[in-house]
Chain A
Amino acid sequence: DQQVKQNSPSLSVQEGRISILNCDYTNSMFDYFLWYKKYPAEGPTFLISISSIKDKNEDGRFTVFLNKSAKHLSLHIVPSQPGDSAVYFCAARSLDTGTASKLTFGTGTRLQVTL
């Protein structure tokens, strides 16, 4: 049961250009969404989040957009840098747990930023 889907397993972007990573979800009880970045041999690192009451959250080069009606969110990285090359996981939290307990993750998108 894939409640959080990242349909692109990989993405290659040139340095300086915009990277757009997409995520779709099916559970309408999700009320909080997070993006994590993961380098090889490391754990996921929190990147940015958005509450379901917002449609945009920006932090430096990273912006997350949420379209609740489409159950879709996206992460924009601009400008992309070689150090951004990593696996990006979309994660969501459900209203019915109401706590920080349980994140539901997508399968990840591997971003490669080329010179």
Chain B
Amino acid sequence: EPEVTQTPSHQVTQMGQEVILRCVPISNHLYFYWYRQILGQKVEFLVSFYNNEISEKSEIFDDQFSVERPDGSNFTLKIRSTKLEDSAMYFCASSIGQASNEKLFFGSGTQLSVL
């Protein structure tokens, strides 16, 4: 079964450094998302992306965050200057369409630790 793949599985960085989390969505999917889960808390929506632009973002997704689809397969999340509170599991997801009854397929996540 096709799956969303994320790399790396773990990323450790120093506070203030830039990180790029990478995702390869399912190939025929057109809508891409980033979610995150801080340890012990719920999974939270960050951003959705379609047709090379952000379609929706949460208040978490401030100017320190950006997303990009640099080629036909990758979808990246960049955090410009990481803070301690950015430590979380970051999940990429994709869906075929945007209808409200579409289901999202999630990757296995990148555990980001900011020291």
Contact = CB atoms under 8 A, between A and B. Distances in A.
A103 B37 CA distance: 13
B100 A108 contact: no
- Which of B4, B106, B107 has the most chain A CB atoms closer than 10 A to its own CB? B106
B31 interface: yes
A100 B97 contact: yes
Nearest to A4: B42
B56 to A, nearest CB: 4
Contacts of B43: 44, 89, 91, 103, 105
Interface string A42-59: 111110010100000000
Nearest to A95: B100
A101 B101 CA distance: 11
Nearest to B96: A100
Contacts of B101: 32, 49, 51
B111 to A, nearest CB: 9
Interface in B37-55: 41-45, 48, 55
Nearest to A93: B100
B3 to A, nearest CB: 9
Interface string B7-44: 00100000000000000000000010101000001111
